[in-house]
Structure 1
Amino acid sequence: MPRSEIRLTDPRALRGYAHPLRMALIGLLRREGPLTATQAAERLDESVPNCSYHLRQLAKYGLAERSEGADARERPWQATALNTSWDDLSDDPEARAAANHLNAMVLDHYVARARAHLAQRAYEPADWRAVLGFGDALVHVTSAELAELTRRIEALLAEYDERMTDPSTRPEGSRAIGLIQLLVPIEPPTESAPPSGSDSAPPSESGSAGEPGR
């Protein structure tokens, strides 16, 4: 069974994960895996050689692995963890730049998913339209309070973790839903913000991208 989380710290691994197809493959493996490269290619509308190559790259960085006991002719792949996390707290400029690039890729992925939902929202049943969509809330908190709030939210989400790995626990009518977390300050920091395009990164990001997602 995949472990709960894998944490990326090496700049090479951060850059290696920052690829749309690789994040899509990891998300697919977490939702539906184990899968062969052929099965993944069919679901993502990609070529088999392309998926095979990127799955091997994911394995290189510890994000995917061959499934045990599978057919030796084309053994399936599985994600090594249910979540991927990383941070931008390193003093190494290379690591910060790599984390910033990965954060930007994840944000692009989130926006694409939101736009895809809007494009098909009219075809959703009324009961799902009532609960799907976007929203936000404004809270005034310290950094410690925000960390505690995030911990409490993650504890609530953890109650559904079993359904990720054991389909038999999913109630009839359930669907895979992405809950996207964006912790974004309304006002700029008290210190002068760096110019646009610098290598500074947003707060630490975790997820299952692809379901970078979480």
Structure 2
Amino acid sequence: MSDEVPQRAIRITDPRALRAYAHPLRMRLIGLLRGEGPMTATQAAARLDDNVPNCSFHLRQLAKYGFAERVPGADGRERPWRATTQYTSWDDDSDDPVMKAAADQLNGVMLALYLQRAQDYLAIRADEPVQWRVAAGFGDALLHVTAAELREVTEQIDALLARYDERIADPAKRPAGSRPVMVVQMALPRGPVPAERPADENRP
């Protein structure tokens, strides 16, 4: 792996790794490393208003499952940590009940973190410049799509967001006036799963 630019994504297929990742502080630590670059446990503790031994322990646990690593060749008594990838994904197509339970646990932790960040933003939104209040915020859209079409929609969104990946690792590529923005993606099916029609009924 490059010393400067991490891989784009890691895909988790082990439920033990999913459960290890599904911890609020660990997910905040990874988000911090991905968003602000390598830092020591002491620096991370100060940023997250936590204590150093706690952050150090959870960084080691993240390293155990491949989410974080020590910066190679770093000098000093406390070597910085860095994220091994910019994104994490996992199998949601498994019928293994252990894997499904681990994924649900992780999704629950993520939802709680997203909700907290949204509430934090609302608390300061009134003080934001008008151009940022107009550009940011919440919204939703109702689609009538098949599972395949929904997968296509999310892939198109992922491809659009990937255009800005290089700005994460290279601050020189960030335009003047830019700031970190979290884009939260949710696709939430409503109602029962429709019954499949016979093949001849699907013909135009």
For residue 42 of structure 1, the aligned residue among 46, 50, 53 is 46
Residue 79 of structure 2: aligned partner:
75
RMSD: 1.2
Q: TM-score, normalised by structure 2?
A: 0.90
In structure 2, how many angstroms separate the alpha carbons of the residues matched to 1:34 and 1:116? 24
For residue 129 of structure 1, the aligned residue among 122, 127, 133 is 133
Letter in 1 for 2:187: L
- Paired residues of 1:17 and 1:102 also in contact (CA < 8 A): yes
- Higher relative contact order, chain-length normalized (CA < 8 Å, sep 6+): 1
Note if 1:174 corresponds to 2:178: yes
In structure 2, how many angstroms separate the alpha carbons of the residues matched to 1:154 and 1:93? 28
Identity of aligned pairs, percent?
63
Note if 1:58 corresponds to 2:62: yes
In structure 2, how many angstroms separate the alpha carbons of the residues matched to 1:176 and 1:87? 28
Residue 149 of structure 1: aligned partner:
153
Paired residues, what number? 191
Q: Secondary structure at the match of 2:135?
A: coil
Q: TM-score, normalised by structure 1?
A: 0.86
Q: What are the superposed Cα offsets for residues 146-168 of structure 1, whole Å, 9 maximum, x if unpaired? A: 11121111111111000010011
Gapped regions of structure 2 (runs ≥ 5): 196-204
Q: What are the superposed Cα offsets for residues 160-188 of structure 1, whole Å, 9 maximum, x if unpaired? A: 00001001111111111011001011323
Residue 106 of structure 1: aligned partner:
110
Higher helix share: 2
Residue 95 of structure 2: aligned partner:
91
Q: Secondary structure at the match of 1:130?
A: helix
